[in-house]
Structure 1
Amino acid sequence: MNRLSSVERATLERIDAAAMLARVERWAAISSGTRNVAGCAAMATELADAFAALPGDIELVEPTPTESVGADGHVTPLAHGRHLRLSVRPDAPVRLLLTGHMDTVYPLDHPFQTSRWREPGVLNGPGVADMKGGLSLMLEALLAIEASGTPLGYDVVINSDEETGSLSSAALLADVARGKVAALTYEPALPDGTLAGARGGTGNFSVVVRGRAAHAGRNPEDGRNAIVAASALAVRLHEERSPQLAVNPARIEGGGPNNVVPDLAVLRVNFRPADAAEIARARAAIDAAVAAVQTAHDVSIHVHGSFNRPPKPIDAGAARLFALVRDAGADLDQPIAWRDTGGVCDGNNIAACGVPVVDTMGARGGAIHSTDEFLIVDSLAERAALSAVTMLRLAEGALA
């Protein structure tokens, strides 16, 4: 660490590993699955109290209204928790965006609700890596920055719906991203510390197919089978897949008694485009498939959904930011590498705003989204140090 400046070394001395772990254990005990609005509210209160130790203004932002398509084809409002925003030194010459999420994938009725020590130094628990560990080390790095006296400007956004696509927070993220030099997002790194590089995009769609009911034996010719039409649509869309576009028809809901021609089906389908051109191709393919199936099967089709996560390439700005993080890691004796991934997160949305982002600045851990999820506890201090040095160097104009 002899390549660190005196300010950087003094800043790192402020990092409190025990405080970080205590926060993770407390926050992981709060069940905050995305659809558990009360649990997300409890988590938001905890986070607001913790981040109040930083200067600036904290607010809990109301979610943008969103909708859900039920198995009955009806569209209903979808409730989300409020999102936390902290703004510090809005007039500073260098301003960063730091983001994370308070929600997990474990609903209130999920059996995985408590933490335990899997082995010394490895904590197993809901959200300990994804991403309550990341939130804790983000806060610790910012506390260390503030203790250093560095006049860095930054906004923090912690949303309540990342795990389900950030549909109610996308507008907030886009608004806060404007004018930022760089962004750091606290998704977990891989167990060895590897970061996510380029990411593909994603789009989720619910397609409502309405046909006509009839008796399956007496007059089936009068019916228009929505299940058959939805199946034909699924096959057509699946045929559009390519190395640059994954297409996954995931579920068809609908139907009823065997003696009734089904008049309703809902097709759920996911797309994973590698770049913007594939989004355009996918949209055209959806339109063409819908038109063809409507005509061939004499049904009506309504498409709900969007490409909510644009692809995230490593452009020149992102490459410079990755290099800065890599060099900070080297000076901390932390080898930093990255590789492309098919997963998506809020880093996709931030990059689409033209802001360089590294979106796996969180703790080292693994088996996320499962009951085996784990946090490597020593990584809390390691990664808080990485964030602190990275932010100090950004404050000095390292990306200018």
Structure 2
Amino acid sequence: MPLNNDERRLAALIATWRDRLVDDLRLFVGIPTGLDHRAGLDRMRSLLCQRLTRLGATVETIPAGSRPTWLHGSPVAGMGPPTAIARRWSPRPGATRILLSGHLDTVHDPDPDHPFRELVIAPDGRTATGPGCVDMKGGLVIACAALEALHECGMDACWSFILNSDEETGSYWSEGALRSAAREHQVGLVFEPALPDGSLVTRRPGSGQFMVEARGRSAHVGRDFASGVSAVNALAGAVLRLSEFVDLASGRIVNVGPVVGGHATNVVPDLARAWGNVRFPDAAAGEDLERMIRSVETPEISCPSIRIETSFNRPAKEATPAVMALAEAARSVAHDLGQSMTFGSTGGVCDGNILQAEGLPVIDTLGVRGGGLHTPQEWIDLSSLVDRCALTAILMARLWHSGI
């Protein structure tokens, strides 16, 4: 359907904000928010919450939940970063409750002397590079601006915006907050970057983490080799068994790495560990795969012994009828704005997996267009700031008025 008068006002307003959106992106990218940079995460969270408060939202800060200690890279002490949720309920009875979701963290090195530290705009002004410019500082820019545009046009939709700081490492600290928020809402919008052609992702696999720990018996290699039992050899055997579970045709992936074992070349190693990641197409396949991985485990009293830990915390995100209805609503808005939009799938996972596991229909690639994610070549198509901001604002306006 064609844009109505309110929607044309929204689109026209956002079209004048191109420089403002680029300035926001420059500011956001310049704040280092690697997971270990707590000061940067705190500053970014505070900045966004202040802007959302000016729109009439109330902000709740939720302490970090628990994270399995066996996960690779888990901190030895201390709490994880908190999650913030800003809520602005509409006074209109029956208004669709919309949950926006974004993550503050990036994978990039927060070192102030690192050369990839700020937004650099190309000479032609069409693209820019910078840490997190696509994943997902650009998404945070357009989500916040869309809410501000709705407010400025007097269209106070019923929304909440949840901001976590550990998506890139599995969202363990924020999982409880995400699941709780999902249960409060009717529609979920996540601002992960779009596919390169602007497509929306409607289907994602599930993901899980695992650890394999092998224990053996140490011995001096020269004097008493025969009495030793190599944990590294036992781990190698376990890893080979895990590799047999891969079935690309059915979407079952098992990847192992990193691997550690032993401490000196002249000592038979008594301890070795490997960590890994899995992908699976649906809930049943995830349950089957977890059973397969656990079948590698041996009794604790054996020597060598194999112990397995698993955490499949991101269920598969399937293209349910409700998800497809939401995606079609987004495509209709795109069409009315003169934008093309198709649907696709990806092997990646995100917080949309967790939100949808609670029954919330979610589209999770409303963010900007670009590429080079997680690399020093990460880049953004700057025109997508206006395009996707207008798409988000008008989609929210339609959902507010009439639902999916």
Fold match (TM-score > 0.5): yes
Tell me the residue number matched to 1:46: 47
Kept after mapping to 1: 8 A contact 2:90/2:156 = no
Distance change >3 Å, CA 328–CA 187, structure 1 → 2? same
Tell me the residue number matched to 2:120: 116
Kept after mapping to 2: 8 A contact 1:35/1:80 = no
Task: Map residues 12-31 of structure 1 onto 2, 5 A cutoff.
Answer: 12-15=11-14, 16-31=17-32
Kept after mapping to 2: 8 A contact 1:67/1:77 = no
Which of 130, 138, 155 matches 2:135?
Answer: 130
Tell me the residue number matched to 2:296: 289
Q: Which amino acid is 2:22 matched to? A: L
Structure 2 gaps, min length 5 = none
Moved over 4 A (4+): none
Which of 373, 380, 386 matches 2:385?
Answer: 380
Q: Which amino acid is 1:88 matched to? A: R
Which of 206, 217, 233 matches 1:212?
Answer: 217
CA shift, 1:74, in A, is 9.9
Q: Which amino acid is 1:326 matched to? A: R
Bigger CA drift: 260-269 or 2-11?
Answer: 2-11
Tell me the residue number matched to 2:281: 274
2:352 counterpart of 1:352: no
Which whole-Å CA distance do the structure 2 matches of 1:359 and 1:270 have between them?
A: 21
CA shift, 1:290, in A, is 1.0
Bigger CA drift: 264-273 or 61-70?
Answer: 61-70
Which whole-Å CA distance do the structure 2 matches of 1:309 and 1:78 have between them?
A: 24
TM-score using structure 1 length: 0.93
Which whole-Å CA distance do the structure 1 matches of 2:309 and 2:35 have between them?
A: 20
Which whole-Å CA distance do the structure 2 matches of 1:23 and 1:328 have between them?
A: 25
2:260 counterpart of 1:259: no
What is the count of residue pairs matched by the alignment?
A: 395
Which whole-Å CA distance do the structure 1 matches of 2:289 and 2:229 have between them?
A: 27
2:63 counterpart of 1:59: no
Q: Which amino acid is 2:39 matched to? A: A
* SS of alignment partner, residue 228 of structure 1: helix
Which whole-Å CA distance do the structure 1 matches of 2:230 and 2:182 have between them?
A: 47
Kept after mapping to 2: 8 A contact 1:191/1:376 = no
Distance change >3 Å, CA 172–CA 4, structure 1 → 2? same
Which whole-Å CA distance do the structure 2 matches of 1:70 and 1:317 have between them?
A: 34
Tell me the residue number matched to 1:312: 317
> How big is the alpha-carbon RMSD for the aligned residues of Structure 1 and Structure 2?
2.1
The Cα offsets for residues 139-166 of structure 1, whole Å up to 9 and x where unpaired, read as 1111112223334211110110011111
CA shift, 1:174, in A, is 0.4
The Cα offsets for residues 82-130 of structure 1, whole Å up to 9 and x where unpaired, read as 2221011177521011000111001223542122123422111011111
CA shift, 1:75, in A, is 8.2
Percent identical pairs in the alignment equals: 34
* SS of alignment partner, residue 224 of structure 1: coil
Q: Which amino acid is 1:371 matched to? A: P
Which of 257, 269, 274 matches 1:250?
Answer: 257
CA shift, 1:350, in A, is 1.1
The Cα offsets for residues 11-67 of structure 1, whole Å up to 9 and x where unpaired, read as 223322222211110110111101222221122122222222221201332211324
Which whole-Å CA distance do the structure 2 matches of 1:349 and 1:38 have between them?
A: 27
Tell me the residue number matched to 2:401: 396
Which whole-Å CA distance do the structure 1 matches of 2:255 and 2:268 have between them?
A: 26
Kept after mapping to 1: 8 A contact 2:296/2:306 = no
Bigger CA drift: 359-368 or 11-20?
Answer: 11-20
Distance change >3 Å, CA 255–CA 111, structure 1 → 2? farther
Which whole-Å CA distance do the structure 1 matches of 2:306 and 2:65 have between them?
A: 26
Which whole-Å CA distance do the structure 1 matches of 2:238 and 2:39 have between them?
A: 38
Tell me the residue number matched to 1:370: 375
CA shift, 1:349, in A, is 0.8
